[in-house]
Amino acid sequence: MSAQNASFVIDPPVQVSAPVEGQSGRFPVRRILCVGRNYAAHRREMGGDDRDPPFFFSKPADALVEPGRDVAYPQKTANLHHEIELVVALKAGGADLTPEKALALVYGYAVGVDITRRDLQAAARDKGQPWEAAKGFDQSAPSSPIRPWTGAPPQGRIWLSVNGEVRQDAVVADMIWATAEIISEASKLWRLAPGDLIFTGTPEGVGPMVRGDQVKGGVEGVGELAFRIV
């Protein structure tokens, strides 16, 4: 029996998806890749070496939070951080792509927050352990609707505020790996596929959130998102 018409012994998981601006149809999400330390000033605030290149980690697709929904403060942390990021949504895939070919994969862009249990991340780093518990937990990826896009990627202001106070304020143009390079680098490590999302890294100014905080963020030309920590 093929997977297409298989019967399942338990109910299969719901397909994760994101709303699309100006469309009734939704964008189906396959997986979420994330870039670490892709802005020089953030790399420095995290104690990184200026010569270290960015790198990848991932979150499960169902970490995505629907626009407008609250985010539950997770278990096992006393230091929950915001990381505002430009998100790339792929409509096509491939492996070993050049940066010149990479932008043809882009369906659109969104604004996301890579929510991080910073205390667990620091503990994992000190012990040489993986980052999943620090990065890939439930509701760790709130995102705006996806804006369909053709042409040159966003380069403008990227910002985040907590309770009206601006904490992160930079420009996407400051990314160490530009959007086309991120897709190219990812395609050297994984065969990319339609439905993949890539969180492209955060600028400086990351910091803690607590229950009751109202978080807002945006990327110029792409959109905005807002959520409350509950």
Residues in contact with Mn ion by CB under 5 A are 83, 114, 202
The residue type of 68 is: G
Which contiguous run of DSSP H or E holds residue 33?
Answer: strand 31-36
Least Å distance, CB 158 to Mn ion, is 12
For residues 116 and 80, the answer to whether their CB atoms sit within 8 Å is yes
Which contiguous run of DSSP H or E holds residue 73?
Answer: none
Least Å distance, CB 85 to Mn ion, is 6
Of 26 and 45, CB closest to Mn ion: 45
Of 59 and 147, CB closest to Mn ion: 59
Least Å distance, CB 135 to Mn ion, is 8
CA distance 25 to 112: 20
Of 77 and 202, CB closest to Mn ion: 202
Of 83 and 185, CB closest to Mn ion: 83
For the chain, the 3-state helix, strand and coil shares in percent, each to the nearest 5, are 20, 35, 45
Task: For residue 142, list its beta bridge partners.
Answer: 65
> In terms of DSSP bridges, do strands 31-36 and 196-199 run parallel, antiparallel, or are they unpaired?
parallel
Q: Which residue of the chain is nearest Mn ion when measured via CB?
A: 114
> In terms of DSSP bridges, do strands 106-113 and 157-162 run parallel, antiparallel, or are they unpaired?
unpaired
Which contiguous run of DSSP H or E holds residue 206?
Answer: none
CA distance 151 to 142: 25
Least Å distance, CB 18 to Mn ion, is 18
Of 187 and 202, CB closest to Mn ion: 202
Least Å distance, CB 34 to Mn ion, is 6
Q: Helices then strands (H, E): number in the chain?
A: 5, 17
Of 210, 219, 16, nearest to 108 by C-alpha is 219
Q: Which residue has the tokens 């249990």?
A: 117
Of 20 and 33, CB closest to Mn ion: 33
Least Å distance, CB 83 to Mn ion, is 4
